Amino acid sequence: MGDRTKLEIAGGVAWLTLDDGKVNALSTEMLAEIAAALDAAQSAGAVVVLRGRDGMFSAGFDLKTFKKGPAETVEMLRAGADVIVRLLGFPRPVLSLCTGHAYPAGAFLIMSSDVRLCVDGPWRIGMNEVAIGLTLPYFAIELARHRLTPPGFARLTTGALFPPDEARHFGYVDRIVAPGAAEDAVRAEVERLLALDMPSFVATKARVNEQAIRAIRDAVDGELKSVAA
């Protein structure tokens, strides 16, 4: 698909892997590759499986871009928010497999998916903006409000990252799978998703995510205009 992502579409499934050879930083360029992959998956009418490299799902937004200036920052944040909205509104099921560390924007991708599995391991998942000198964007807060449990939402203020079992408790992921069982778990869930009545799925997903999508779009429009100014 590109230098930072790999896409294979077969049997009604789009296997999308984030792999820049490093930490899968979500730069504007990588987000554009993800968006293009979703375009291809949608054209094929495929269920999407989104995964990272072994040990690293994504380290989040590219910190180097933040240092380039307001224009570059806004471009990257808007691209990230657009991918979140795209996943929440995608007209086929999206399954994410957390394969390792998932720092803020990486966690956003997982939280935007319909089914969220996590390979057990010594990694951390969450939103640690406060710990690294950043304020959590309003659009991320709206996504967290939609997906996290009340205790998980309350922990946003302290910038904590969590091991897989705590991340599941707080709502970042649905289920933890053993490393050796991950592929079988994904394929079993994909088979279940492929058997859904898709018109009913699409209509129900739209209803479930409608308010979150609206809130995220409103937050993006308001907040990024102020950053650009």
pLDDT tens digit string along 69-103? 989 999 999 999 999 999 999 999 999 999 999 99
| pLDDT score of 1 | 65
125 - beta bridge partners?
Answer: 102, 162
Look at phi and psi of residue 12 and say left if phi exceeds 0, alpha if psi is from -120 to 50, else beta: left
Specify the higher pLDDT residue, 193 or 221: 193
pLDDT (0 to 100) of residue 62 = 95
Q: Are 61 and 77 in contact (CB under 8 A)?
A: yes
Tokens 């069982």 belong to residue: 181
Q: How sure is the predictor about 225, in pLDDT bands with cuts at 50, 70 and 90? A: low
The residue among 204, 203, 51, 219 whose CA lies nearest residue 139 is 219
CATH number at residue 142: 3.90.226.10
What's the rounded Cα separation, in Å, for the pair 196 and 192? 7
Question: What is the reported pTM?
Answer: 0.95
Q: What single-letter amino acid sits at 47?
A: V
Q: Are 88 and 96 in contact (CB under 8 A)?
A: no
Question: Which parts of 112-229 fold into alpha helices (H)?
Answer: 138-147, 150-154, 164-170, 182-194, 198-228
The percent of residues above 90 in pLDDT, for the chain, comes to: 89
Count CB-CB contacts under 10 A for residue 82: 17
The number of distinct structural domains making up the chain is 1
Cα separation of 135 and 192, whole Å?
A: 39
Kindly compute the dihedral angle of the four CA atoms of residues 146, 24, 77, 127, in this order, to the nearest 10 degrees. Answer: 40
Average pLDDT over residues 160-174: 98
User: Residue 56: which domain range?
Assistant: 5-183+191-228
Q: 180-212, pLDDT tens digit by residue?
A: 999 999 999 999 999 999 999 999 999 999 999
CA distance 185 to 183: 5
The average pLDDT across 135-145 equals 95
